[in-house]
Amino acid sequence: MNKTSSFLVKGSLVALSFVVFSGCDFFKKKEATTAGDVAGKAGDTVLLTIDGEAVLKESDFMANVKQMMEANPYFRDATIETLPKELLRKVFDQLYMQHLIEKEADQNNIEKNAEYIKAYNSTEPLLKRSLKVQIYQKQIFDNIKVNDADIEKYFNENKDRFVKEKGGVLTQGVRFESEAQANAFLLKAKGDVEAFEKLGKAEKAGSFKDFGRVNREAARGMQFDATPAPIKEAALAMVKLPGIEKVKAGKEFWVIKAWDKKEKTLFAVDEIKPQIESMLKQNTYKDEFEKTVKELKDKKHKVIINEEFFKEKVKPGEAPKDEANNGNKPADTKAVTAA
C-alpha cells in the first residue's frame, strides 16, 4: 500500500464508526457526483446476506461510502475509485455489524423492550424537530442564487487557490555531517547521475532522503515544510536538469539531485464552477439564515422569551450587578453614613 493509501486508512478509521452511522449533511461541499449518483451507477450485486435475506447491496454500500467521504475531511481530494480495499472493507464491516445486530434484535422483539420503547419515545420528537430544521435550512440554502458573474469574479480574485497540479521539481538528497564527506560523494554522484538514488542509499557516511516533488508552496494542512529551505531553493534554481549540487542547510551538508521540473497548473473556471457556486452560497447562507429567523420572530410569530430566567441570581449579601458601574451597584451611601 502506498503512503497516501496508508494515510487515508489510518487517518479515517478513528471517526469511521461515527461517520457511517451519522445523518446526512445538507450543507456539505457540492461535488461532481452525489450519493444518489453513486447508487445509480453501482450495480445491484448483493454484498451481504443474513438468514437468506439480502440486507446490503452494492448500491447501498456505495451510497454509505460516498456519505462517509463527504463528511470526513481526510477524503477531501479522494474519489471512491482511489480508496484502498482495506478501507472499503472497514466500512463494510461496520455496516455488516449493524445489520447483524439489527437482525438479532428483531428476532428478540427488541421493539417491545421497555428500555427500547422509552428511548424511542424520547428520541422521536428530537428526530422530527431536527429533520424539520434541516429541511427548512436546506430550503434557505437552495434558494440562494449565485450568478455566473459572481463565480467568474471570485475565481479571478482567487486563482492561486484552485491548483490542479502544484508543479515543482523531483528532488532527492544525501545528508552529511561534514563538508569533506559531502564533497567526496558529490564527485561520485556527478560521475553517475542516473544512479544517484542507488549510490545515496549505499553511502555509509550519509543519510538518503527522497523529498518528492518540491515547490514553493507547503503541502496542504502542514504547519511546516519538510524540505529545508536551502534545498528547496537550490533545486528550483537549477537550470540544467538533471542536476547535482552541494547545499549547506544549517550545520548539515547535502548533496541533492533535481530533475523532471513541471510548471504549476490551475483549474479552469468551468472545471470547478459547481464547487465555487457552493462555496459562495455557503458564504451567504449565515446572513440569510439569521435574516430569516429575525423575520419569523419579528413579523410572523409572537415570540416571548423569559429573559429573567437567564440572568445571574443575586446571592444573599451580594450587591446586585450593574453593567453601568463595572457590574456592581454602588452601596447605599446614606445607609453607610447612618450606620
Structural domain range at position 175? 163-266
User: What's the pLDDT tens digit per position in 292-337?
Assistant: 999 999 999 998 888 998 888 877 777 766 544 444 444 443 333 3
Q: Per the structure, how many domains does the chain have?
A: 2
- Residue 140 in any domain: the answer is no
Per-residue pLDDT at 218: 56
Give how far the C-alpha of residue 217 lies from the chain's centroid of Cα atoms, to the nearest Å.
19
- Residue 334 in any domain: the answer is no
- Residue 220 in any domain: the answer is yes
Query: Which residue, 231, 250, 266, sits at the end of a domain?
Result: 266
Q: Are residues 15 and 86 in the same domain?
A: yes
For the entire predicted model, the pTM comes to: 0.53
- Residue 223 in any domain: the answer is yes
Query: Which residue, 86, 108, 130, sits at the end of a domain?
Result: 108
Distance (Å, rounded) from C-alpha 206 to C-alpha 182? 8
Q: Which residue has the higher pLDDT, 39 or 228?
A: 228
- Residue 184 in any domain: the answer is yes
Distance (Å, rounded) from C-alpha 156 to C-alpha 163? 13
Q: Are residues 103 and 169 in the same domain?
A: no
- Residue 210 in any domain: the answer is yes
- In degrees, rounded to 5, the angle at the alpha carbon of residue 269 between the alpha carbons of residues 150 and 288 is 30
User: What's the pLDDT tens digit per position in 97-145?
Assistant: 999 999 999 999 999 999 999 999 999 999 999 999 999 999 999 999 9
User: What's the pLDDT tens digit per position in 20-58?
Assistant: 444 344 444 444 344 344 444 445 899 999 999 999 999
Q: At what angle do helices 85-107 and 58-71 cross, to 10 degrees?
A: 110
User: What's the pLDDT tens digit per position in 89-98?
Assistant: 999 999 999 9
pLDDT band at 15 (very low <50, low <70, confident <90, very high): very low
- Residue 315 in any domain: the answer is no
- CATH number of the structural domain spanning residue 174: 3.10.50
- Residue 259 in any domain: the answer is yes
